[in-house]
Structure 1
């Protein structure tokens, strides 16, 4: 590494320690654009992004964290930085955290893990499966599967599928309680509800849509539990049929109200930050290609 790069490291340390480009720029008495340019120059030298930026937050990538640690003693900068750069150009390795809801993780991620591990054995994978809305930057998520339009323009998104809904129950429940012949008959049935989704829209074959407010017999914030309860004969639920393929194939669940359709769909996107380490980029490209097949 050339001594000319030491000023870039000084700027990088200030940005990392102050938590923003503007704070570092104020301390250095430089325009914010100059600080941003110096960070890009250092990233080009290392060959990977050091910081992940959104409109609201800033955090270090794994490579950036390693660089900050290895260059904390500036007397050892020359030796340690060369090691960081060599590691960055070797086979992709490091931690990659992937976030998804429980059923989407089971449906999309788990089947891909064996091939992904075989392709990149040096990458440490962390799956975070949770049905709540996760802040990707705050929880250090690298890649996520998300439903619907994305409010944060700093995220990169690739559509991998489309979410739809249907209504399902077990044969045990339908034998005991009878099968509803119209949405209005749900008032006489036990409805299993995910979160706050108590308004169920129905569209008939003529295109007329009517929304029914159901009274939950049981409400849950866990999508896996929702499916399990339906399989146990506890009631009727509204869910994406893609995520209960095994239960439908085995006969544990069966469709109801099939003369009606849910009128809405939402895109299912694979998302990540614009700045990616080689490990994150490798996993990102692998998942897109695997699901594209």
Structure 2
């Protein structure tokens, strides 16, 4: 039997929680998955999984074997990449993910310049407004905006991002420019949020720096930042977005940032990856290439925002 294949199948079964889910992910028949696990248990002379109608769980022997299987497969993968030249020459494939709009505007130009500089590296750029699981989805690196949860990911900070409230001058001429949270609650708002119910917008009290959750009057709810910007440009209401999402409209003075003194703390922006130990040179080259450029992008965004606030 192919012992490495059986180890890989065991890992998939444990990670997905069932034989059927593992079969779907691996794109093999369910009977093949079950047979491979049974053959592995027969060769080892030990039961690895406890099968019930409701769930699968590892036996003590299975838990021990799983740790060893992961280590062995990681070592095999590292050796194969070294033989293929990934640790000695910048070559191979990279998969990188970033938020849709930030990726289109700021990451894509860096990627295209990188491809021109390194002709033996190919990149798959996934632009998604959700966080993928790097190891499970076979993603090498990700641009993440916001606080990172405790995890095994390795992060490199590339800057920070403001969350801003803005509106068109025409809307403010009709309703007045809000100066307080009470004023904001009387304004028509364009909300851009996830599938859950909107409780309100978060701000900081400028005196105490404590977090405030302010209910807002939703005039229009949209599912993309671009739609929120477009509606705001048409004077529908006040909107609240990450600064990069409205930077062009603010710089063109089509939208005006308001309530700056109530802004919440800036969100960190990181480039994260899951590699430990020796990093493939293709990843190291991209880190060295992209990090200073992304830092410059975020610094310029911040400076442009400060100039707009001063009316320069």
Q: TM-score, normalising length from structure 2?
A: 0.66
Following superposition, the deviation at residue 204 of structure 1 comes to 4.8
Q: Give the 3 Å change call, closer, same or farther, for CA 16–205 of structure 1 in structure 2.
A: closer
The Cα shift of 1:191 comes to: 0.7
Number of residue pairs the alignment of both structures matches: 248
Report if aligned partners of 1:96, 1:280 keep a CA contact under 8 Å in 2. yes
State which of 198, 212, 215 in structure 2 corresponds to 1:213: 215
SS at match of 1:19: helix
**Residue in structure 1 matched with residue 273 of structure 2 by the alignment:** 272
Residues 198-249 of structure 1, C-alpha deviations (whole Å, 9 max, x = no match): 4223445433654311122122231222222222322111123244322211
Structure 1 match to 2:141: 143
More moved, 219-228 vs 13-22: 13-22
| Structure 2 equivalent of residue 16 of structure 1 | 8
Q: Give the distance between the partners of 1:112 and 1:216, measured in 2 at CA.
A: 37
1:44 to partner: Cα distance: 4.7
Shift of 1:47: 4.0
Q: Given the two structures, how large is their TM-score scaled by the length of structure 1? A: 0.69
| Aligned CA-pair RMSD | 3.3
* Mapped contact 2:168–2:233 kept (Cα < 8 A): yes
**Candidates 76, 81, 93, aligned match of 1:42:** 76
Contact 1:148 1:266 in 2 (8 A): yes
**Residue 183 of structure 2 aligns to a residue in which SS?**
helix
Question: 1:98 touches 1:143 (CA, 8 Å); kept in 2?
Answer: yes
For residues 86 and 202 of structure 1, the distance between their equivalents in structure 2, rounded to whole angstroms, comes to: 51
Q: Is the 8 A contact 2:161 2:243 kept in 1?
A: no
Partner residue in 1 for 2:23:
none
Q: Does 1:92 align with 2:90?
A: yes
Q: Distance in 1 between matches of 2:136 and 2:69?
A: 23
Q: Note the C-alpha offset of 1:270.
A: 1.1
Question: Mind listing any 5+ residue stretches in structure 2 that lack a counterpart?
Answer: 15-36, 45-60, 297-312
Q: What is the alpha-carbon distance in structure 1 between the residues aligned to residue 161 and residue 216 of structure 2? A: 21
- Structure 1 distance, partners of 2:12, 2:273, is 20
1:285 shift after superposition: 3.5
Distance 1:189 1:235 in 2: 7
